[in-house]
Amino acid sequence: MIHAQFDPAARQALAATAVEAKVRKDLSWQQIADAAGLSTAFVTAAVLGQHPLPEAAAEAVAELLGLDENAATLLQTIPTRGSIDGGIPTDPTIYRFYEMLQVYGTTLKALVHEQFGDGIISAINFKLDVQKVADPEGGDRAVITLDGKYLPTKPF
């Protein structure tokens, strides 16, 4: 049976426990995703309380992390999404994404609407990928792909 959470506290507590287990076992998010059989971005978001995992994936993640049956069940519940409290984020990495949207948000909106019309890019029918690539000028670059289905606004 499908269940939904209406208070994020249980999933937040589970996320903290899961991250502690990840660190204690010296696992990468990729290793956890491999056990779940799903993408790294999706499994990471799920373990951090932003998505439900399918039963088999939840059980595999719980087993790998040494979590109990209750944790495996909780990993399957539909969470109350949103991991950033109100206001401007203070974590430097999260803040940079906030900054990117402050600078390029209206540009993205203008380009999406010009190319697709009135509508939104889904964060539910969505794929996320993060790649580390060499910078030809030295160092590394982060290539972040946000791949969401376009959902047009429908007059009613």
Kindly compute the dihedral angle of the four CA atoms of residues 106, 109, 114, 117, in this order, to the nearest 10 degrees: -150
Question: Which listed residue (99, 114, 137, 141) is catalytic?
Answer: 99
Question: Which listed residue (20, 24, 28, 96) is catalytic?
Answer: 96
Q: By three-state DSSP, how is residue 88 classified?
A: coil
Side chain identity at 24, as an amino acid letter? R
Determine whether 28 is an active site residue: no
Question: Which listed residue (24, 55, 122, 141) is catalytic?
Answer: 122
Determine whether 99 is an active site residue: yes
**Is the CB of residue 65 less than 8 Å from the CB of residue 31?**
no
- Which residue, 40, 48, 57, is CA-closest to 79? 48
Q: How many residues does the chain have?
A: 156
Q: Residue 48 and residue 91: Cα distance in Å, rounded? A: 16
Could you list the active site residues?
96, 99, 122
